[in-house]
Amino acid sequence: MAQNPFDLSGKVALVTGANTGIGQGIAVALAKAGADIVLTARRDPSETRQLVEAQGVRAHVVMADLSSTEPCERIVSETVEAFGRLDILVNNAGIIRRNDALDFTEDDWDAVMDTNLKVLFFLCQAAGRRMAENGGGSIINIASMLTFQGGIRVASYTASKSGVGGLTKLLANEWAAKGINVNAIAPGYIATNNTAALQADSDRNRQILERIPAGRWGEPDDIGGAAVFLASDAARYVQGHVLAVDGGWLAR
């Protein structure tokens, strides 16, 4: 093991959904650890790119809409063309649709399942093929508290994130012997643009904080630290694990 097992210098990391929030936090954390970063997003991730390059590493942007599998091979190919290799994949891109289960539509089911589970798998596959050829790598899928819990009014999101947990284990079973570590991170309540409405709702915010033993919302940096660990040699014997980064939410 390297003298500093958390050092990612010389590694190339691909992060999806990297323009804001958790994706941005992970990209910057991996950059601070020394990795060059390829940012994939539907909207221009220029802010994230600036934050990454400020760490003294290289950044490259691949614009892609991950609502279908069409760009999966292209994303991986452009990553390898830009930086010569692919060592780390972080599948962060995801969407959510809300409705009562009695009223949930097929469109809202398909849209979420396609992005959160189907596209995630085929991007893992495209990256995994390159990693297998090159002696290994690390794949980190972003799961959810709803990988463990049911939630309400988010039928397709809960189903997709439960599927992410299962796929993570399946891929670890198949690819560990190829030198590919496959794990997942399940974020708790993280202070991002996506949760701004919850934070602004005084009653709901109070209920959430009362449940979290740490007594605070998480920050994207909290997820970034977990990603650095799982991407590094420090986690070389960690396989098929879903790491909850939740301030103790699941323990309550």
Q: Strand, helix or coil at 154?
A: coil
Q: Identify whether the C-beta of residue 199 lies closer than 8 Å to the C-beta of residue 180.
A: no
Q: Identify whether the C-beta of residue 225 lies closer than 8 Å to the C-beta of residue 29.
A: yes
How many CB atoms lie under 10 A from the CB of residue 67? 17
Return the closest-CA partner of residue 28 out of 228, 181, 216, 176: 228
Q: Is 189 a catalytic residue?
A: no
Q: How far apart are the first and last CA of the chain?
A: 36
Rounded CA-CA distance 51/29 in Å is: 10
Q: Which of 157, 189, 229, 249 is catalytic?
A: 157
Structure tokens at 211: 């449940």
Rounded CA-CA distance 246/220 in Å is: 12
Structure tokens at 198: 């919850």
Q: Identify whether the C-beta of residue 148 lies closer than 8 Å to the C-beta of residue 184.
A: no
How many CB atoms lie under 10 A from the CB of residue 129? 12
38, β-bridge pairs: 14, 60
Specify the DSSP class assigned to residue 148.
Answer: T
Residues involved in catalysis: 157
